[in-house]
């Protein structure tokens, strides 16, 4: 067995253990108002981190390019309460135009 398979099997075992232990958490901890607030914010934080990493990282270095301008336009559109379709299209058009004229 090579290192990759050892990593896959080890990660699978750890994930199974975490999920099994997660089912044994008492319900009073999961229905705590503080825990419910934290759980509603986790997807937002993870998506924001993903967008940030995909915007300014290329392999192992930081890059400032047209993607950052697209995200900036999307943030402005969101601040102006634009519909989702307008946000996505405006960000894509901005990135594409800057890439084309680069």
Nearest to 71 by CA among 100, 38, 63: 63
User: Contact 37/61 with Cβ under 8 angstroms?
Assistant: no
Q: Determine how many CB atoms are found less than 10 A away from the CB of residue 74.
A: 21
Tell me what pLDDT residue 16 has: 96
Domain containing 22 equals: 1-31
> Average pLDDT of the chain?
93
Domain count, the chain: 1
Per the domain annotation, does 16 fall within a domain?
yes
Q: Mean pLDDT throughout 62-80?
A: 94
Kindly indicate the confidence band of residue 77, based on its pLDDT and cuts at 50, 70 and 90: very high
Length of the chain: 102
Tell me what pLDDT residue 60 has: 86
Per the domain annotation, does 43 fall within a domain?
no
d(CA 55, CA 47): 12
């Amino acid at each position: 067995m090579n290192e990759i398979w050892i990593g896959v099997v080890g990660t699978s075992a750890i994930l199974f253990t975490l999920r099994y232990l997660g089912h044994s958490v008492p319900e009073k901890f999961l229905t705590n108002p503080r825990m419910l607030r934290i759980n509603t914010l986790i997807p937002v934080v993870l998506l924001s981190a993903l967008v940030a990493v995909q915007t300014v990282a290329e392999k192992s270095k930081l890059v400032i390019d047209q993607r950052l301008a697209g995200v900036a336009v999307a943030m402005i559109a969101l601040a102006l309460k634009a519909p989702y379709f307008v946000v996505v299209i405006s960000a894509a058009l901005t990135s594409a135009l800057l890439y084309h004229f680069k």
